[in-house]
């Protein structure tokens, strides 16, 4: 299993890094479009798509929606209402879905669940593409929020976890892990701001923009919000998988599961980051 994980990670990095650091944002947009289309295929299968054709059609539709956005991208600042609407939808809708638990998910109308997946995947991809347009430093700072929250939550949860966060959805998660995730994001922000004071980078980071526009208090509140959304995205995908009775969203990434398993926490964080810098 470890060997598979390492090989898959090396292959993905070999494809991702040249696309990310290309002079044009287009290679990265196309590479991530392929990945998010695969996530659309996984979403359809997790939500009861009968046979291969509906799942493949869902992936193709996600690709088409993203392709339209690629040709007519929403402006980073001008689409602030779109990012804000997506963030509010995640906060309200996500809380409602998590409250009902895995048993409640299949009771939602199948068409609604299918359309919801399309909307969430498209919104996250559009936000990711626009974040790359802002700059590589900005995009990486947003993505590292999720990674820092996840890693810090894991170790703090293992060391101090006592109170379960959502035992029916993800028994391993604890409130202490969430607090550790917030601390990890705050430490990341401070370290990133120090780095930007020492080096000239291609673009301002999420943390620098938040501090400039919202002050230190706003940066703290933003860290709390982004960490909460990261946890919500992770729990949401876990709930969908538990309702479907599967461990991984697919086996597309040997040793890692599926694409949704790797991007679940990014789905709400990407549009929320753009919403925050548009304030």
Q: What is the pLDDT of residue 7?
A: 86
Residue 1 has pLDDT above 70, yes or no: no
- Mean pLDDT within 19-41: 95
pLDDT tens column, 122-175: 999 999 999 999 999 999 999 999 999 999 999 999 999 899 999 999 999 999
Question: Two tokens at 223?
Answer: 């860290």
pLDDT, tens digit, 9 for 90 and up, residues 230-248: 999 999 999 999 999 999 9
Q: How confident is the model at residue 43 (pLDDT cuts 50, 70, 90)?
A: very high
| pLDDT digits 0-9 by tens, 72-131 | 776 545 567 889 999 999 999 999 999 999 999 999 999 999 999 999 999 999 999 999
Would the CA dihedral through 190, 86, 130, 43 be positive or negative?
positive
Q: What confidence score (pLDDT) does residue 106 get? A: 93
State residue 74's pLDDT score: 62
Residue 128 has a pLDDT of 95
Distance CA 165, CA 251 (A): 27
Give the contacts of 271 (CB within 8 A, at least 6 positions apart): 82, 83, 86, 87, 90, 123, 124, 126, 127
First to last CA, the chain: 44
Give yes or no for residue 2 having a pLDDT over 70: no
Higher model confidence: residue 154 or residue 256? 154
% of the chain residues with pLDDT over 90: 82
Domain count, the chain: 1
Question: What confidence score (pLDDT) does residue 6 get?
Answer: 81
Closest-CA residue to 273 (of 139, 93, 74): 139
Q: Tokens 């919403």, residue? A: 275
How confident is the model over 185-205, as a mean pLDDT? 95
Residue spans of alpha helices (H) in 21-106: 26-46, 52-71, 80-104
Burial of 157 (0-12, 13-18, 19+ CB in 10 A): buried
Q: What is the DSSP letter of 107?
A: G
| Domain of 20, in residue numbers | 2-277
pLDDT of 81 reads: 86
């Amino acid at each position: 299993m470890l060997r598979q994980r390492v090989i898959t990670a090396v292959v993905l990095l070999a494809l991702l890094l040249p696309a990310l650091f290309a002079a044009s944002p287009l290679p990265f947009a196309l590479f991530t479009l392929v990945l998010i289309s695969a996530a659309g295929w996984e979403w359809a299968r997790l939500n009861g798509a009968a046979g291969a054709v509906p799942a493949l059609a869902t992936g193709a539709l996600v690709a088409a929606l993203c392709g339209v956005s690629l040709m007519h991208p929403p402006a980073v600042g001008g689409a602030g209402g779109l990012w804000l609407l997506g963030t509010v939808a995640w906060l309200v809708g996500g809380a409602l879905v998590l409250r009902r638990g895995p048993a409640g998910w299949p009771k939602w109308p199948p068409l609604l669940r299918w359309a919801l997946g399309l909307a969430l995947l498209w919104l996250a991809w559009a936000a990711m593409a626009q974040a790359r347009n802002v700059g590589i430093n900005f995009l990486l700072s947003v993505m590292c929020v999720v990674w820092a929250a996840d890693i810090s939550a894991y170790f703090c949860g293992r060391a101090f976890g006592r109170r379960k966060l959502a035992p029916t959805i993800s028994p391993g998660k604890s409130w202490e892990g969430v607090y550790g995730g917030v601390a990890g994001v705050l430490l990341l922000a401070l370290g990133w701001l120090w780095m930007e004071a020492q080096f000239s980078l291609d673009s301002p980071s999420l943390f620098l923009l938040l501090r400039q526009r919202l002050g230190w208090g706003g940066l703290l509140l933003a860290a709390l919000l982004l960490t909460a959304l990261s946890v919500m995205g992770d729990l949401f995908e876990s709930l969908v998988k538990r309702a479907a009775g599967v461990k991984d969203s697919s086996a597309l990434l040997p040793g890692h599961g599926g694409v949704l398993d790797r991007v679940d926490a990014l789905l709400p964080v990407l549009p929320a980051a753009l919403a925050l810098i548009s304030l």
